[in-house]
Structure 1
């Protein structure tokens, strides 16, 4: 399974970068090929993508999320895709964002693109657009500060995690 990864430093505080990333429905503003993301539940999303003329719809589960640290996800169903984004404070106004995406390319064009590193360039471009998006705003559009472990959620950290979600 190919892995695409990239890292970028954004000139906003850690909580601002993390909070914006939790607003998944804004992804079409900076992620190439993402047409829409709908938050169905705290740990479940529905995606519509169009990459290289191939449109896909799929659900994904957020499997691990810790505020100001990281978020991990994995698709549900036929499409085998997952990833992790992590956040590291470099100083009070600078945050390092690292994104890794694993996926199983379908068809010749996707496999060829993965083989020559097109995926890394796409992930890098997405992070560069995220940097521009959040730096131009200077503040996040919203925030979800809950924690998810093994696809269960706890919004305060004091509540039991429901593994049925």
Structure 2
């Protein structure tokens, strides 16, 4: 497994950043290579990505979600192996630190080479920068889900 860790400060309150992040179907608007995310239920999302001309579809399951604090997920089934955690920390009333950590298993020569060259790290950093621009431009979230999901629950 390879790990990517990136963080960014966004100029919106904690609840605004967190609420927007729970709008998974908006991810294609700021995540490079993500073509579509369909929320299947409170825990599961179906993803379609296209990276370097390769389209993949897979499902993720939220395994731990604590409003205004964290969302942890993992892939289920399929050939994509990934798990991740995004956390939210208030810096003050108007600024939030967003930290993203992803463990993934590169599949095939192209993905292994991209990982070795730091391309995955740069993509995640770019995704966070686009999230920052996305939420700061609006100033308010487009929705939010405040439910609690507990591990094994």
TM-score norm. by structure 2 comes to 0.97
Identify the residue that residue 106 of structure 2 maps to in structure 1.
105
Query: Residue 132 in 1 paired to residue 139 in 2?
Result: no
- Cα distance in 2 for partners of 1:58, 1:69 equals 26
What number of residue pairs does the alignment pair up?
Answer: 152
- Cα distance in 2 for partners of 1:52, 1:131 equals 25
- Cα distance in 1 for partners of 2:97, 2:7 equals 7
Task: Compare 143-152 and 48-57 and name the one that shifted more.
Answer: 143-152
Identify the residue that residue 144 of structure 1 maps to in structure 2.
145
Counterparts of 1:34-73 in structure 2, within 5 Å, are 34-73=34-73
Deviation at 1:58, TM superposition (A): 0.5
Contact 1:35–1:50 under 8 Å retained in 2? yes
- Cα distance in 1 for partners of 2:54, 2:90 equals 37
Identify the residue that residue 94 of structure 1 maps to in structure 2.
95
- RCO greater where, 1 or 2, for CA within 8 Å and sep 6 or more? 2
Identify the residue that residue 16 of structure 1 maps to in structure 2.
16
- Cα distance in 2 for partners of 1:106, 1:117 equals 15
Deviation at 1:13, TM superposition (A): 0.1
- Cα distance in 2 for partners of 1:91, 1:151 equals 33
- Cα distance in 1 for partners of 2:129, 2:101 equals 14
TM-score norm. by structure 1 comes to 0.90
Deviation at 1:151, TM superposition (A): 5.2
Task: Return the index of the structure with the highest Cα Rg.
Answer: 1
Aligned CA RMSD, in angstroms, stands at: 0.8
Deviation at 1:5, TM superposition (A): 1.4
Query: Residue 114 in 1 paired to residue 95 in 2?
Result: no
